[in-house]
Amino acid sequence: MIDYYQIVAQIMFVAFILLTIIGALLSVNAKILMHSVLGLAVCLLGVAGLYFYLGSMFLSLMQIMIYVGAVCIVLVFGIMVGFTPNESAQKNDIGRNTLLGIVASGIAGLGLVITIFGKTSWETSAATVGDFSIEWIGENLLLKYCLAFELISVILLIAIVGAIILAKGGREEGL
């Protein structure tokens, strides 16, 4: 007797593998940067499909939300807002205020490290909050930290809308 579920499962596995490989090849071999980001998104969707095939719905959804939904969108907006090669060649601002930038970054980083070490209450490693299993993380994300999770998504939405507004207005001299 033919087991149709086994055949469908094998077809799904091969489809997810092919999706991952085709996306990776498209990402690496693309001549246009936007096509490379599209290939990365397809590749990451294939990896999410593999997580789904292995029975981990949480990892699959996190793969789609974080990597495909956030990282690829940030890359796309970085491409949209960034300078073209011709604009970069015309501008040629390399070296201006480099020392000032290094000093300011060093002072800000040192201040951040001092603040973190000063406000951290150091506990022994025996005091654990949870077991950090997928179930524990999922319950905390959906129950305890639901408001923070939603606020992060609203902030991401505001950033996306802002990037669209900036990209639609074009590049003006003086910005």
pLDDT tens for the chain, 175 residues: list them.
778 888 999 999 999 999 999 999 999 998 888 888 899 999 999 999 999 998 888 888 888 888 888 888 888 877 777 766 666 666 655 566 778 888 889 999 899 889 888 888 776 554 455 577 778 877 877 788 777 777 777 777 777 777 777 776 655 555 4
Are 64 and 49 in contact by the 8 Å Cβ rule? The answer is: no
CB 41 within 8 A of CB 72: yes
pLDDT of residue 93: 56
What is the rounded distance in angstroms from the CA atom of residue 133 to the CA atom of residue 18? 30
pTM for the model stands at 0.52
Token pair in block for residue 158: 């505001």
- Counting Cα atoms < 13 Å in the Cβ hemisphere of 142 gives 8
Distance of alpha carbon 101 from alpha carbon 94, whole angstroms: 12
Q: Is 172 left (phi over 0), alpha (psi -120 to 50) or beta?
A: beta
Q: Are 52 and 13 in contact (CB under 8 A)?
A: no
What amino acid occupies position 169? G
